Amino acid sequence: MGYRGSREDHPVVKAMREISLYILKASESMDLEQVDSLINILLKAYNDKRKILVMGAGRSGLVGRAFAMRLLHLGFHSYVLGDTIVPSISKGDVAIAISGSGRTQLILTAAEAAKKVGATVVAVTSYPDSPLGMLADLVVWVPGRAKTSRVVDFFARQILGIHEPLAPLGTLFEDTAAVFLDGVIYALMKELGVNEEEMAARHANIEL
């Protein structure tokens, strides 16, 4: 491929700028009380030495995996649903379910199971009124386009000035959730007084 137009019109640059603009606008509209509640739940789990189970399907699962890794670097007992070494979840543990639509059956079923044993369920979703949102003890609303809501997505893109599908399917939610959760990690670093050197010491030292 040899693009001959201006740099601003290059499809990669154009998509990156639109996604960045969306995330910036999302940072201005998120409910900080919800965010602080999530941080407090995580800090309590850290102090009580409770387990954190992060769950998500598809690309949301990859976002969750990255978040769980950073929690591990901070000293949390964090796990990812689906891994073979995940221990049993019990009362007092925390399950963080990431789903843009809040309707992904696998995640909904897992969240229901966590709730049944007394774990605190946190939903990271664009739809607080979804089945996952209604089940959760805490909903953290992360704006983003979900695969299942084309009409709503159309109006959201119009408001943001996005007139083309530059971010297909659930990309806007997944990218926004990833950046948001990285922000949560930074907040936890400050609250726990953990520096980058301490995190690096917990990073895998045997890698392929």
Which residue among the candidates 164, 174, 191, 198 is catalytic per the annotation?
Answer: 174
CA distance 52 to 46: 9
DSSP 3-40: --S-GGG-HHHHHHHHHHHHHHHHHHHS-HHHHHHHHH
Strand order in the sheet with 138-141: 77-80, 51-56, 94-98, 120-125, 138-141
Q: How many Cβ atoms sit within 10 Å of the Cβ of residue 27? A: 13
Phi/psi at 103 (nearest 5 deg)? -125, 5
Active-site annotation holds for 174: yes
Q: Which residues are catalytic?
A: 174
